[in-house]
Amino acid sequence: MKVIKKSLSLAFAAVFIFTVTILDAAWGSIPTATIEKARDATVLIATDGDNAGGFGTGVIIDPSGIVVTNYHVIHRATTIRVFFYNPNDLNYYEADVIGVDPVADLALIQIKVREDMLPLTYLRIEPENFLIGEEVVAIGHMLGLQWSVTAGILNSLERPGKITPYVTILQHSAQINKGNSGGPLINKNGDIVGINTYILLPKGGWSGIAYAIRGDNVHRTVKQITETGTVQYTALKIGLRNVNEFFIKAVKREWPDQKIPTGIFGMMSLYIEEDDWAYEHGIRNFDILVAFDGTPVNYLYALKEIIKEYKPGDKVKLIVIRNSHFITIDYELSEIDFKEYLKFYDKSIKERFNEGGRLTAPPEKEEKKEGLIPPPKRLLVPDSEDPGLPDNEKRNSDKNGTNG
């Protein structure tokens, strides 16, 4: 009997050790050495300017001192100062802006460091591998607590960007707050899977929901800026909303005489004016886009992924449903104008944050021209593809969201 009990104990111990090993492999924490390297590559950014001032986070992505951060961290700044994690060196180093991408809320800056300091510790950007439930670590200066480290998991891999669905962001549960903006979100390899950008504050406190610009978007922006000095986004320049049962019901309530087909998927064009690019190239209000250059498209995210393979000026064939008929339109692609996005950031700083630091509702869109029926304001909730317009801004900016 003693032999049997001893054997059972050994067997249980073996099973327990095996189970713990498996769990550790699947859910093991990110190594301390990996986090320390990421901390050393993370910098504190302080800015001064007429319409700017404050601090945020950045991460070094090249040994020469190139840093990626959020655009809103350095927006309108006249002076940029960078501090390293080094208890023995409390000096700051000035930095110059290399390029900006207001569409993705990203910017590249170059730190002016001494040659004897090179090469600097840097992190690699992960452009492809993002796993739901993957453990991640955020590093930044939340609420002035410098180089704070928090851990969480990836909750979603495909949320629409804050101000445009042209950008894909990650939702995660690593705690971030004001001051984390521009800081890295790293995986177990110490690679950057995202750049933290904003959080949701439904009641003025931490909700457990944070957002980071996904690594592939970051990689694309960095590549374009370092190679050409600018960033370009191909765009349809059409205000589109995903068509679904609830959206169709809302449209029919507002325009009972409008012929809107039911039981279909696609994207409806709205807010089209006579001097818009879309109108000049054949699109009308209430057109439902169902195919792009021979590829069926049912929703905005799929369209965004397809259009990335095209360049401004390319000619494509669009199939839309108009007055219950399928028609083909020869359409020329355009590009996003950054000027509209700069207005968004100015409003974010001066007008759109109340005393509690919570994002307020954006200003209403200007009145439309007579003869063109604008959609009702309650229809602004579904997705929008139109870059830079206040209605698109309202769709993708949560009323209770705030920059990280």
Query: Which among 40, 72, 383, 391 is annotated as catalytic?
Result: 72
Which neighbouring-strand residues pair with 66?
62, 110
Quote the CA–CA distance of 256 and 248 in Å, as a whole number.
11
Of 354, 349, 285, 276, the C-alpha closest to 323 is 285
Q: Which two tokens stand for residue 280?
A: 């000049």
Find out whether 212 and 195 touch, Cβ atoms under 8 Å. yes
Determine the Cα angle at 247 with ends 242 and 251, to 5°: 120
Spacing of C-alpha 17 from chain mean position:
41
Reduced to 3 states (helix: H, G, I; strand: E, B; else coil), residue 66 is: strand
Q: In this structure, what are the phi and psi dihedrals at residue 9, rounded to the nearest 5 degrees?
A: -65, -45
Tell which residue, 131, 135, 111, has the closest CA to residue 42.
111
Catalytic choice (148, 181, 348, 384) = 181
List the catalytic residue out of 105, 191, 383, 391. Answer: 105
Cβ atoms 234, 303 nearer than 8 A = no
Q: Is 269 among the catalytic positions?
A: no
Task: Give yes or no: 181 in active site.
Answer: yes
Bridge partners (DSSP) of residue 325 are 322
- Annotated catalytic residue 72: yes
In 3D space, the residue among 188, 84, 196 whose CA is nearest the CA of residue 138 turns out to be 196
CB atoms within 10 A of CB 133: 9
β-bridge mates for residue 212, sequence order: 170, 196
Enumerate the active-site residues: 72, 105, 181
